[in-house]
Chain A
Amino acid sequence: MDHKAIAAKDVSFAYHEGGIRVLRDVSLDIPAQKITAILGPNGTGKTTLLHLMLGLLKPGSGEVLIFGKHHGAYSRREMSQIMGLVPQFESIPFNFTVLEYILLGRSPYLKPFQSPGKEDLQIAEEALTSMGIVGLAGKPVSELSGGERQLVHLARVLAQRTKILLLDEPTAHLDLENQNRILNLLVELTERGITIVLTTHDPNVAVYAAENFVLVNEGRIYVEGGLDTVITPENLSTMYNVPIHVENADGHTMVVMDKNG
Chain B
Amino acid sequence: MRRRSGKQVFIVLGVGTLVILLASVFLGRYPRPYWMPPRLLLEDELARRLVFSLRVPRLLTALLLGMTLSATGAVLQMVFRNPLVEPGFMGVTQGAAFGAALSILWLGKHPLVIELSATLFGLIGLFGSYFLSRRLRFGGWVLRLVLSGVAVSALFSAGVGILKYVADPLTQLPEITFWLLGGLWGVTWQNFWYVLPFALAGLLTMFLMRWRVNLLSLKDETAFSLGASTNRERMVLLFASVTATAALTSISGIIGWVGLIVPHIARRLVGASADTSIPVAMLLGGIFTMLSDDIARSLLAGEIPLGILTSAIGALLFMYLMISMGIKVRA
Contact = CB atoms under 8 A, between A and B. Distances in A.
Nearest to A107: B226
A113 B208 contact: yes
B210 A115 contact: yes
B311 interface: no
A77 interface: yes
Interface residues of B, number: 30
**Residue among B210, B222, B224, B328 having the largest count of chain A Cβ atoms under 10 Å:** B222
Given A96-B272, A113-B208, A104 B227 contact: no
A112 B237 CA distance: 13
B267 A107 contact: no
Nearest to B204: A113
A8 interface: no
Given A80-B225, A90-B218, A94-B267, A110 B83 contact: no
B308 interface: no
Interface in A74-108: 76-77, 79-81, 83-85, 87, 89-97, 100, 104-105, 107-108
B273 A112 contact: no
B83 A93 contact: yes
A104 B214 contact: yes
Nearest to A56: B224
A81 B81 CA distance: 25
B81 A107 contact: no
Contact of A108 (B82, B226, B271, B272): B226
B228 A95 contact: no
Contacts of B220: 56
B217 interface: yes
A142 B224 CA distance: 23
Contacts of B267: 94-95
B211 A114 contact: yes
Interface string B210-245: 111011011111101111110000000000000000
Contact of A100 (B82, B214, B222): B214
A225 interface: no
A233 interface: no
B209 interface: yes
Interface string B184-227: 00000000000000000000000011111011011111101111
Interface string A38-72: 00000000000001001110000000000000000
B97 interface: no
Contacts of B219: 87, 89-91
**Residue among B220, B226, B273 having the largest count of chain A Cβ atoms under 10 Å:** B226
A104 B226 contact: yes
B78 interface: yes
A93 B214 contact: no
Nearest to A153: B222
Given A84-B225, A93-B217, A110 B211 contact: yes
A160 interface: yes
**Residue among A81, A92, A104, A160 having the largest count of chain B Cβ atoms under 10 Å:** A104
A105 B81 CA distance: 19
Contacts of A93: 81-83, 217
A106 B112 CA distance: 41
A147 interface: no
A83 B221 CA distance: 12
B225 A115 contact: no
A115 B6 CA distance: 14
B82 A85 contact: no
Contacts of A79: 227
Interface of A: 51, 54-56, 76-77, 79-81, 83-85, 87, 89-97, 100, 104-105, 107-108, 110, 112-116, 140, 142, 160, 166
19 contacts: A54-B221, A54-B224, A79-B227, A80-B226, A87-B219, A89-B219, A91-B219, A94-B83, A95-B271, A95-B328, A96-B214, A96-B273, A104-B214, A107-B215, A110-B211, A112-B208, A113-B211, A115-B211, A116-B275
Given A56-B225, A93-B217, 13 more contacts: A80-B226, A84-B226, A89-B219, A90-B218, A94-B217, A95-B267, A97-B271, A100-B271, A100-B272, A100-B275, A110-B211, A115-B210, A142-B328
